[in-house]
């Protein structure tokens, strides 16, 4: 199921130049750090692992690799689903797990300064203690790190209303592919001096620079939300409900979809009985205050009902509501228990969401492939989870075909091949289909400017 990414880099010379106190060459350790969670993506064997505790050690590592033409692959917690943190043969892997300090939470200017190894939920908890909120909340928020979130421009449940990681990154301290340390961005509320290099680096998957410090924008603490639950017979009906909510000018704080396969997988694991009364669930939240929030919630219920919901209601039980959203975050690991999972991540305009959901089911049926779909439905971002039995080569062939066909349909509907997981190695072919040649050439020029020897995460994002 996995291939190998190759490098012919020398090892002895570079090993002598790495920071000895935080470097290991133990084969068992290297194997554990050689890949992320994208089990279908190729990976190689690194020559060393560096776990720095300071920016100086990061810089020393990159300079050593630059001098000796050795690839560098950065990783956070390894929760990625596209292979972006997968090693190539002979590479040095830099894990930021020990750079995990929250340096500053500024309550006046509403920003936080963190190291890249800070876990997303740890930052959110620290901000909450100060009456502040960091909105980006990927499903892996309890173990994914800010560095990885920045590298992939992570989204999550709240992004339908509050945006993705790029909307919150104000400044970065970085090490470039030549080993130079510098800063991009600023901590002021406004600033347009020069190009938006922060925006460029956010989502670049470690191919342009490595962040050693991250400054993120904060918001006032979110008010307790009201939860809306809708049950539907089909994903298409649920997609129509999402479209109806958008057409009504309603912007929920979250709007999530789980199909029957996901509900059954969660029930098998956690015995929550979600699939007893529902084929498809839509979970929405509104955090609008007071009577206006109740009116907004009731308006969402009405759109669900008008679109064919078998039942829809505004939840009056906060514990039930929390349990349902917790179940949504359990969907991926629940499906993982069924077999090998190839994770899709397409995003389409909300108007095309019903068509995309219908296409996923048709592709699954035509390829005789098991596909469980979860979605950040409110912004058209779908995660069809393609499941195969380990060791079944024929299933794997059909699954890979379905994977490519889903991307093709998303592009045909005016969408994109990845909403938040990134390109990594899994979506290289799809990227070539999505981006015009001129845009690919621009990206190559940027890569060559910041990483002239091509040592930063080679084989990712660019052909």
Summarize pLDDT for 323-369 with one digit per residue, the tens: 999 999 999 999 999 999 999 999 999 999 999 999 999 999 999 99
Q: At what angle do helices 318-336 and 260-270 cross, to 10 degrees?
A: 100
pLDDT of the residue at 10: 60
* Residue burial 106-128, b: 16+ Cβ < 10 Å; e: rest: eeeebbbbbbbbbbbebbbebbe
The reported pLDDT for the residue numbered 306 is: 98
pLDDT of residue 5: 47
Helix axis angle, 235-247 to 290-306, nearest 10°: 140
Q: What pLDDT score does 386 carry?
A: 98
Tell me the residue ranges of DSSP E strands in 167-305: 169-176, 181-185, 209-217, 219-220, 226-232, 254-258, 280-286
Share of the chain above pLDDT 90, in %: 94
* pLDDT of amino acid 6: 47
* DSSP assignment string, 32-90: HTS--S-TTS-----SEEE--SSHHHHHHHHHHHHHTT--EEEESSS--SSSTT---TT
Give the residue-averaged pLDDT of 183-198: 95
Domains and CATH numbers, the chain: 12-97 (3.30.43.10), 102-220 (3.30.465.10), 223-332 (3.30.70.2190), 339-427 (3.30.70.2740)
pTM above 0.85, yes or no: yes
pLDDT at 87 over 90: yes
Q: Categorize the per-residue pLDDT at 11 as very low, low, confident or very high, splitting at 50, 70 and 90.
A: confident
């Amino acid at each position: 199921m996995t291939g190998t990414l190759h490098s012919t880099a020398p090892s002895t010379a570079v090993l002598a130049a790495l920071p000895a106190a935080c470097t290991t060459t133990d084969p068992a350790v290297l194997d554990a750090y050689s890949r992320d969670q994208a089990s279908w993506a190729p990976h190689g064997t690194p020559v060393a692992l560096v776990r720095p505790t300071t920016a100086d050690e990061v810089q020393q590592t990159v300079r050593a690799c630059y001098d000796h033409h050795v690839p560098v692959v950065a990783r956070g917690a390894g929760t990625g689903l596209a292979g972006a943190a997968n090693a190539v043969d002979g590479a040095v892997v830099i894990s930021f797990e020990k750079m995990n300090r929250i340096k500053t939470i500024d309550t006046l200017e509403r920003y936080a300064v963190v190291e890249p190894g800070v876990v997303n939920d740890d930052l959110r908890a620290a901000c909450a203690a100060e009456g502040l909120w960091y909105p980006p909340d990927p499903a892996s928020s309890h173990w994914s790190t800010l560095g990885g979130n920045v590298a992939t421009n992570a989204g999550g449940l709240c992004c339908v209303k509050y945006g993705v990681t790029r909307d919150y990154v104000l400044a970065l301290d970085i090490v470039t592919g030549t080993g130079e340390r510098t800063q991009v961005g600023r901590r002021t509320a406004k600033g347009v001096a020069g190009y938006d290099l922060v925006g460029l680096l956010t989502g670049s998957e470690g191919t342009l620079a490595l962040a050693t410090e991250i400054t993120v924008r904060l918001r006032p603490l979110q008010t307790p939300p009201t939860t809306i639950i809708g049950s539907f017979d089909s994903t298409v009906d649920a997609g129509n409900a999402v479209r109806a909510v958008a057409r009504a000018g309603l912007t929920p704080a979250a709007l999530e979809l789980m199909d029957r396969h996901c509900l059954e997988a969660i029930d098998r694991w956690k015995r929550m009985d979600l699939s007893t009364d529902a084929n498809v669930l839509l979970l929405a939240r509104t955090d609008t205050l007071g009577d206006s929030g109740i009116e907004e919630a009731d308006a969402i219920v009405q759109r669900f009902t008008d679109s064919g919901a078998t039942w829809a209601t505004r939840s009056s039980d906060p514990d039930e509501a929390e349990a349902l959203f917790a179940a949504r975050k359990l969907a991926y690991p629940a499906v993982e228990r069924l077999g090998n999972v190839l994770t899709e991540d397409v995003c389409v305009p909300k108007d095309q969401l019903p068509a995309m959901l219908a296409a996923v089911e048709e592709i699954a049926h035509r390829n005789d492939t098991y596909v469980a779909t979860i979605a950040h439905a409110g912004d058209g971002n779908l995660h069809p989870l393609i499941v195969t039995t380990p060791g079944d080569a024929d299933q794997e062939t059909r699954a890979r075909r379905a994977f490519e066909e889903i991307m093709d349909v998303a592009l045909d509907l005016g969408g994109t091949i990845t909403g938040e997981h990134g390109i990594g190695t899994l979506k290289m072919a799809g990227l070539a289909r999505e981006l015009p040649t001129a845009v690919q050439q621009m990206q190559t020029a940027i890569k060559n400017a910041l990483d002239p020897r091509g040592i930063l995460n080679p084989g990712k994002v660019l052909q």
